[in-house]
Amino acid sequence: MKATANGAGYGRSKLSLIWLEFKKLFMPKRVGFAVLVLLLGGLWLYPFNVLYPGSEFKNWHTAIAVDMEAKYGDQIDAAEAEQFKQSLAPKVAEADAYIRSTPAFARADLDSYERYVKRSGMANGGTMQLWRIIQAGPARDLFAELQASFEWVQYYEDNFLNTFGMNEKEKERVAEIRSRDWVSVLPTDFLNNYNSTNLLNRLAITAMLITSLFVMHIHIGDRRAGLGEIQASSKAGITGVFRIKVAAALLAGTLVAAVLLVVLLLAYRFSGTWSLMGADISKKGGGFFWYDMSFLQYMGATYVAVFALCWIAALLTVFFSSIASNYVVLAGAVALTLILFFEGDYFLNPMLNNILSVGLGRAPFQTFIELAVLLAISSGLLYIAWKREKGRIRW
């Protein structure tokens, strides 16, 4: 009974030490610096054309999808698609009236919206000046809405599909999606703006950078304070402290990823696009995925990659902090690692590009396997650092 009590006390003591080490990582000046970095990068991180709640950066494809979801739900069948097409007639009439009342269109021998669209599609249609007039006038939103609406109609009616390079299993999945008697209301660019090198990639690099900023001091800070020699005075000190610091670093990475996830969900919630979260991610004419998932489910599944990348950043930074001789070397090692991850097409671009998608030469779980390998490599480097620390024991 006494041994059990001692074991429980040891466990609580260890958790207390992890919590103390965790709090050291989040000293006010470090939190302030991380917030400053986040604010300075906010304009780059935030996708104004996707999630901005105002009209200054309005995305008409998304706005139309929100209206369609309110009228028809997140699955559009043939009757609803035809009803939507017919509903455009009054807006076309309004555009026709604007064109007939504007002298510049008469000089270009255009008297209807249909003729204007056909002329705009020609290589030498001569409509650039007319487009500038529209953009500067009161009909800008009307023409932008009509363009996005008819692009959706064209998408619905277009039956072209390129299956070149797909294997039989991929073709079967595509055929299964195209056999549906409905299409998802989710606009293609809504998913694309989250996927690939856009929002998901930016969230990942921001999360890794902030995690590294918090964890950088974890070993080198103790050495500069003269605690390294005290810890090296016993095997228990080296082993226990090292493990505690690793646990605290992983906890810090988890917190950073979780906070950015909350920010992401709030951005979608207050941008007026939350109603699209339940729409299916697979599209009729392209953008096929292995599993039937809503956008919210897909976001949850793919955001696992951000958590994993934060853990990788935490482990690598602990490794660098344990071996770096000074802060300059440490900062350089962390910076080079992040550049290696995100510059060009080294790791993150192909890894985060269309996770779980069909027909891009990728296995369904390839991204998660790659992340597991990177976690294993990071853990291996930490093991090397731990063995090196054990070699510093003073008896």
Spans of all domains in the chain: 2-54+188-390, 78-167
Question: In this predicted model, which residue has the larger pLDDT, 213 or 222?
Answer: 213
User: What one-character DSSP code corresponds to residue 126?
Assistant: -
pLDDT above 80 for 30: no
Please give the full DSSP string across 62-104, using - where no structure is assigned: HHHHHHHHHHH-SEE-HHHHHHHHHTTHHHHHHHHHHHHH-HH
| Predicted pLDDT at 26 | 63
Flag whether pLDDT at 72 surpasses 50: yes
Q: Are 378 and 316 in contact (CB under 8 A)?
A: yes
Q: State the number of CA atoms in the 13 A half-sphere of 14 facing the CB.
A: 16
- The helix (run of H) or strand (run of E) holding residue 183 is strand 183-184
So what's the pLDDT on residue 50? 53
Residue among 59, 70, 40, 50 nearest 270 (CA): 50
Q: How confident is the model at residue 342 (pLDDT cuts 50, 70, 90)?
A: confident
How does residue 140 score in pLDDT terms, banded at 50, 70 and 90? very high
pLDDT 10s digits, 169-200 = 888 888 888 888 899 999 888 888 887 557 88
> What average pLDDT does the chain have?
80
For residue 71, what pLDDT is reported?
94
